[in-house]
């Protein structure tokens, strides 16, 4: 009887717990299938997805989690913005095009840059080996080897899970089971260390905002100085014109 009451109290306590807010960044090379994956998780048809320019933001509910996913564009010119989202992320989803063997080296280098960043290192990482439905797609073991994945995650102390999947083959309740499994793994591991990760997120976010504010002030000061210099130069030129004109009066 006492055990039953204790179990009921524990269940009631968990039920009353507020939903945990989690932010994830989804990265990977262009055309890896990031947006199709997000759409599928969201319950939308992942077919005929246009390339992401910049980023898109998706909010969804996953069990006891309120999840925000930043789907970041993967083109070379866009990847520079990724670091702006690292500080507020609890974890990373890195999507790999398993069928694009020609760019596997570029994928490895890009992944290394992400995991080595001080605001990502140590956070859990889900690797989705996408496009397994394509002919010639690399198997899980080959992807691990080609990406030097074990070495990368060990060096940067990141918990990691790799899931071979096909984002375009289903969505919502018919979403690829590997994507569901991977997302559940990621959220579960964030939950295990939620307080510490959230504290780190808050600290990194505050530092980034302070740095952005400082950069903004420095830019404003440079603009002010340039305007002053131009104003002084303009005044000097005007003075010279007046002086030159008086010489001929």
Binding residues: 28-35, 52, 74, 130-133
User: How far apart, in whole angstroms, are the C-alpha atoms of residue 22 and residue 20?
Assistant: 6
CA separation for the pair 171, 169 (Å, rounded): 7
Q: Hunting for tokens 């070495």 — which residue is that? A: 151
Best CA proximity match to 40, nearest among 151, 165, 150:
165
Annotated binding-site residues for Mg(2+) read 35, 52
CB-based contacts of 101, cutoff 8 Å, min separation 6: 136, 138
As given in the structure block, the two tokens for residue 5 are: 């009451």
Sign of the CA dihedral with 146 first, then 147, 148, and 150 last: negative
Element (H, E) at 59: strand 55-62
Measured CA to CA, the distance from residue 25 to residue 3 in angstroms comes to 42
Annotated binding site for GTP, which residues? 28-35, 74, 130-133
Instruction: Provide the token pair at 146.
Output: 């080609």
- Residue 30 CB neighbours (<10 A): 16
The torsion angles phi and psi of 11, rounded to 5 degrees, stand at -65, -45
């Amino acid at each position: 009887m006492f055990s039953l009451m204790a179990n009921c109290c524990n269940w009631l306590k968990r039920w009353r717990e507020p939903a945990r807010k989690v932010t994830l960044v989804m990265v990977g090379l262009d055309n890896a299938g990031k947006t199709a994956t997000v759409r599928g998780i969201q319950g939308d048809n992942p077919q005929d997805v246009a390339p992401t320019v910049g980023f898109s933001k998706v909010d969804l509910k996953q069990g006891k989690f309120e999840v925000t996913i930043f789907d970041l564009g993967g083109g070379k010119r866009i990847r520079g913005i990724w670091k702006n989202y690292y500080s507020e992320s609890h974890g990373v989803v890195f999507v790999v095009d398993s069928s694009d063997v020609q760019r596997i080296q570029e994928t490895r280098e890009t992944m290394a840059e992400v995991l080595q960043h001080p605001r990502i290192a140590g956070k859990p990482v889900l690797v989705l080996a996408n496009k397994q439905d394509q002919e010639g797609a690399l198997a899980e073991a080959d992807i691990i080897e080609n990406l030097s994945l074990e070495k990368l995650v060990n060096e940067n102390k990141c918990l990691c899970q790799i899931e071979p999947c096909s984002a375009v083959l289903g969505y919502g309740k018919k979403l690829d089971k590997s994507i569901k499994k991977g997302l559940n793994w990621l959220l579960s591991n964030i939950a295990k260390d939620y307080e510490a990760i959230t504290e780190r997120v808050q600290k990194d976010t505050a530092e980034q905002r302070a740095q952005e504010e400082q950069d903004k002030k420095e830019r404003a000061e440079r603009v002010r100085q340039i305007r002053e210099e131009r104003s002084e130069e303009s005044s000097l030129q005007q003075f010279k014109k007046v002086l030159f004109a008086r010489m001929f009066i």
